[in-house]
Amino acid sequence: MKTEIITVNPDNINPVYIKTAAEKIKDGGLVAFPTETVYGLGADAFNPKAVAKIFEAKKRPFEDPLIVHIAQKEDLYKLTEDISDSALKLADEFWPGPLTLVLKKSKNIPDIITAGLDTVAIRVPADKVALAFIKFSETPIAAPSANLFGRPSPTTAQHVLDDLNEKIDIVIDGGRALIGVESTILDLTQNPPVVLRPGGVSIEKLKKVVKGVEIYKQDKILSPGMYPRHYSPKAKVMLVEGNGNVQVKKIKNLACRFNLQELSVGILAKEENIDKYNGFKVKSIGQGNDLAVCASNLFSVLREFDKEGVDTIIAEGVKEEELGLAIMNRLRKAAGE
Interface with ligand TXA by CB under 6 A: which residues?
Answer: 35, 37-38, 40, 64-67, 98, 100, 102, 114, 117, 119-121, 125, 143-145, 182-183, 185, 196, 223, 225-226
Q: Does 296 bind Mg ion (CB under 5 A)?
A: no
How far apart are alpha carbons 219 and 217 in whole angstroms? 6
Q: How far is the CB of 130 from ligand TXA (least distance, A)?
A: 8
What is the number of alpha carbons within 13 Å of residue 52 lying toward its C-beta?
5
Rg of the chain in Å (alpha carbons): 20
Provide CB contacts within 8 A for 142, sequence distance 6+.
42, 43, 44, 45, 51, 54, 66, 67, 68, 69, 113
Sole window of 15-23, 140-148, 244-252, 303-311 interacting with Mg ion (rule: CB under 5 A): 140-148
Which member of 80, 100, 137, 145 binds Mg ion (CB under 5 A)? Answer: 145
Map residue 243 onto helix, strand or coil: coil
* Among Mg ion, ligand TXA, none, partner that 96 touches (CB below 5 to 8 angstroms by kind): none
Q: How far is the CB of 202 from ligand TXA (least distance, A)?
A: 14
Angstrom CA distances, 224 to 108, 148, 150, 330, stand at 21, 18, 14, 17
* Among Mg ion, ligand TXA, none, partner that 317 touches (CB below 5 to 8 angstroms by kind): none
* Among ligand TXA, Mg ion, none, partner that 185 touches (CB below 5 to 8 angstroms by kind): ligand TXA
Output the CA torsion 162→168→173→176 (10° steps): -50
Q: Does 155 bind Mg ion (CB under 5 A)?
A: no
* Among Mg ion, ligand TXA, none, partner that 183 touches (CB below 5 to 8 angstroms by kind): ligand TXA
Q: Which residues bind Mg ion (CB under 5 A)?
A: 145
